[in-house]
């Protein structure tokens, strides 16, 4: 997938309880157990705000950047980059300050390489989902207007 084909940057949550700190390795294992090729997200943001790589995203590929197609939003994976916040059990956004800051900086970076992409939550594209437990469009608009205030 190249930047011109990215229509969405989709924010997810791992649906894990607040005391559970996992990362891309654990999600990779879970997704492989489901029969997938591995972690379905391109990025995972741990509780401490560390951003880990899931599916490959190569912004240095010639002639433009390329990424592996994700496995995170049915029917739209070939048009979407996936970001997963650890937490959010039952649709409750229990994310830490470091995660919010990392999410904002990651989305800012991704919008520079895929400027036409719409920033959405999984629930915006799949009405059967609560994930990530907050209105991503409103969060992104607020962040763009106010930053880390």
Residues with a catalytic annotation lie at 12, 41, 122, 129, 131
SS (H, E, C) 6-58: CCEEEEEECCECCCCCCCHHHHHHHHHHCCCCCCCCCEEECCCCCEEECCCEE
- Distance between CA 56 and CA 54 in Å, rounded? 6
């Amino acid at each position: 997938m190249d930047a011109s084909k990215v229509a969405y940057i989709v924010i997810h949550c791992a649906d894990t309880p607040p005391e559970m700190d996992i990362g891309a390795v654990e999600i990779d294992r879970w997704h492989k157990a489901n029969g997938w090729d591995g972690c379905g997200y391109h990025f995972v943001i741990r509780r401490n705000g560390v951003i880990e790589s899931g599916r490959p995203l190569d912004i240095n590929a010639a002639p433009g950047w390329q990424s592996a197609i994700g496995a995170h939003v049915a029917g739209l994976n070939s048009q979407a980059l996936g970001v997963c916040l650890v937490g959010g059990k039952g649709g409750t956004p229990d994310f830490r300050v470091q995660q919010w800051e990392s999410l904002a900086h990651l989305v800012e970076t991704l919008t520079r390489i895929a400027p036409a992409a719409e920033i959405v939550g999984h629930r915006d594209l799949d009405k059967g989902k609560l994930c990530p437990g907050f209105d991503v469009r409103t969060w992104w608009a607020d962040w763009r207007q106010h930053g880390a205030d």
